A and B are shown apart, each in its own frame.
Chain A
């Protein structure tokens, strides 16, 4: 979408080829008085153009896993490889969209925010940057708000800017840490639809963290179900068949119940 080249992803291989592989990753972090094991020997593969969802209740280490893919922490055991190279530091080939609205820099306008990573990384020639940023902001429907500072935007608009900023960089993989969790239900639903439309256009690879079963089924093409304390893989499910229009269908409900049962060991319906 944002690329001048016809090929949307610069170094993209064929769809379905493994892009990210996580092998037996155990993650631990220190609090003041103890060592917490966030995940225990988690393994999964993300293929190109996957919408891969990490789903689980709080305490299952899904956000920690995502931070590790982003390179903000290193695993105690196992490794993570992006196209075969071990991930050991943060980098712009893995752009992150956070849950918090303050991920935008308040001292920059919308367009400056989108241009910022492109400028700082020198990934694109200087003459292309403004044009790319403009197209990216238009793509998320904020063409009219380019010269506005973030504090004048609503929460949903801020998240759109963050998505535009990440996508404009044409990352190998887009990492999203519950980006819609702080939004109201109506905005969240619209953002989910827009994200799916963007995916139809651009075909980026997405690694998305959520605790909402419904959001996972709607957005995901593949769902990794994690159980908590410490986080372990319970299942990896195919979810290509479902989107918003299937909500309330019998098999959508059945799928929801199935995941709910995996997470909580009951057949109760989730209230997500």
Chain B
């Protein structure tokens, strides 16, 4: 309410300014090329590889200062042991045996999980069954039901597959079902608008919409499958006529070849990194990242 302001106006008035804008062709190139190192560090694989190199260096330095190859072999010793067993074919055959059992168990679990979650999302009794079973069995360690599996299926691949299915099934189902429940109401209504229902709703709307959760479940399931497999092999060793990685580690420990124990663990890690970096990463790039459902 000063004398300067005209009556009825709020605030102090200042004169208007109008300018003509410059055309973009006269302004020229506004973007800036990316520098070499900035470009290199933008590649995820390069940054992750650097983390691995750093870890290897720390390992090597620590083992050398410790200088006790029986307890903690150095990175280079482990590599030597790893290479000699790879060359002799012992490690590759162990890895292949383990991977075969792993894939059978993992695949079976995913198939069962698909049926169970579809039933759970379609019917209320299905939801109740899945919720109850998951609550009951998810906390149960796979290794704890191994004695039962041995009793039922004997000493062989079937027992290991059984415990792998147990450890994967509940994790994948839980994630998938949670994903289904979090699909937006609008997308569901859009699906129903086109007359989709039941199985067609699950296939065309729910699975793609819940894909980030499903993928997370698959990753967790994969890790659980590995853990269970190695643990089961450590407990009762040879399954059938071929020995897996767990048995390889067990034997090496008995022979006090600690470097070979590390080589066995290294193989598990390498396979894990390869699956994460190649398989899951590719699936992510082709799906959730392309769809803008995941940003990094």
Could you tell me which A residues sit within 8 Å of B by CB distance?
70, 72, 90-92, 94-96, 98, 100, 102-103, 105-107, 116-117, 120-121, 149-152
Chain B residues near A92 (CB-CB < 8 A): 193-195
- Cβ of A90 and Cβ of B205 under 8 Å apart? no
Q: List 23 A-B contacts (CB under 8 A).
A: A70-B189, A70-B193, A72-B189, A72-B192, A90-B192, A90-B193, A94-B193, A96-B189, A100-B184, A102-B186, A102-B187, A103-B190, A105-B205, A105-B209, A106-B209, A107-B209, A107-B293, A116-B204, A120-B195, A120-B204, A121-B194, A151-B292, A151-B293
User: Which residue of the partner chain B has the closest CB to A95?
Assistant: B193
How many A-B residue pairs lie within 8 Å, measured between CB atoms? 63
Chain B residues 254 to 296 lying within 8 A of chain A, measured CB to CB, are 287, 290-293
A107 to B206 Cα, complex, angstroms: 11
Q: Give chain A nearest CB distance to B207 CB in angstroms.
A: 10
- Cβ of A150 and Cβ of B292 under 8 Å apart? yes
A98 to B192 Cα, complex, angstroms: 13
A106 to B287 Cα, complex, angstroms: 10
A121 to B290 Cα, complex, angstroms: 27
User: Which residue of the partner chain B has the closest CB to A101?
Assistant: B186
Chain A residues near B184 (CB-CB < 8 A): 100, 102
Q: Give chain B nearest CB distance to A131 CB in angstroms.
A: 19
Inter-chain pairs besides A70-B193, A72-B189, 7 sampled, C-beta below 8 Å? A90-B193, A92-B195, A96-B189, A98-B190, A102-B186, A103-B190, A120-B200
Could you tell me which B residues sit within 8 Å of A by CB distance?
184, 186-187, 189-190, 192-196, 200, 204-205, 208-209, 211, 287, 290-293
A107 to B287 Cα, complex, angstroms: 7
A106 to B294 Cα, complex, angstroms: 11
A65 to B291 Cα, complex, angstroms: 33
User: Which residue of the partner chain B has the closest CB to A100?
Assistant: B186
Selected contact of B290 from candidates A91, A96, A98, A149, CB within 8 Å: A149
User: Which residue of the partner chain B has the closest CB to A96?
Assistant: B193
Q: Give chain A nearest CB distance to B196 CB in angstroms.
A: 6
- Given contacts A92-B194, A120-B200, A121-B195, are A106 and B291 in contact (CB under 8 A)? yes
- Cβ of B194 and Cβ of A120 under 8 Å apart? yes
User: Which residue of the partner chain B has the closest CB to A113?
Assistant: B190
Q: Give chain A nearest CB distance to B194 CB in angstroms.
A: 4
Chain A residues near B200 (CB-CB < 8 A): 120
